[in-house]
């Protein structure tokens, strides 16, 4: 009986170490730059992502360029200014990076659409995948297309 319990403890300990070894690490500096480089934009909600094209995944693949990038914020723009997105880092921890993604309004005014997304990846070589988050941040109130109180007519 004792040997079974000991064996179970050893098995659980080694399993947790194996899982911890596979955990993807996230940077603590230049996080906005990391997000721009490693984000799979095809995983973003349809209001933010460009039209899917075969073989394209990142902002660079789609021809987006960084207009401004600092430690925790970035603005990227598609060629010809067709689409512009602002990304603000809200929180980062071992489970992922929380960002506010917004489509800026005219002439830098209030955002037309914005939402909180959780970005995560399963291993260090994978791209970040984005999903809408239910976690709320005062710095990023939900606006526009993601509002669950809207009906199919946008009311």
Taking the domains of the chain in order of start, what are their residue ranges? 25-146
The residues of the chain scoring below 50 in pLDDT are 4-22, 146-155
Say what the pLDDT of residue 95 is.
85
Say what the pLDDT of residue 24 is.
67
Using an 8 Å Cβ cutoff, are 103 and 84 in contact?
Answer: yes
Say what the pLDDT of residue 18 is.
43
Whole-prediction pTM = 0.74
Number of Cβ within a 10 Å radius of residue 125: 8
User: Measuring CA to CA, how many Å separate 26 from each of 34, 59, 98?
Assistant: 9, 19, 12
Say what the pLDDT of residue 150 is.
38
Say what the pLDDT of residue 36 is.
95
Say what the pLDDT of residue 109 is.
61
CA gap 21, 138 in Å, rounded = 34
Residue with tokens 């946008």: 154
């Amino acid at each position: 009986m004792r040997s079974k319990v000991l064996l179970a403890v050893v098995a659980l300990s080694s399993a947790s170490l194996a899982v911890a070894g596979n955990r993807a690490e996230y940077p603590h500096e230049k996080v906005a730059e990391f997000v721009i480089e490693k984000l799979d934009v095809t995983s973003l909600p349809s209001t933010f992502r460009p039209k899917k094209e075969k073989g394209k995944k990142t902002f660079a693949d789609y021809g987006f360029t960084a207009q401004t990038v600092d430690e925790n914020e970035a603005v990227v723009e598609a060629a010809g200014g067709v689409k512009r997105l602002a990304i603000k880092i809200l929180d980062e921890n071992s489970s992922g990076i929380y960002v506010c993604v917004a489509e800026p309004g005219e002439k830098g005014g209030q955002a037309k659409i914005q939402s909180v997304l959780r970005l995560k990846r399963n291993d260090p070589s994978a791209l970040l995948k984005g999903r809408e988050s239910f976690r709320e941040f005062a710095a990023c109130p939900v606006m526009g297309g993601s509002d669950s109180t809207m009906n199919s007519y946008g009311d």
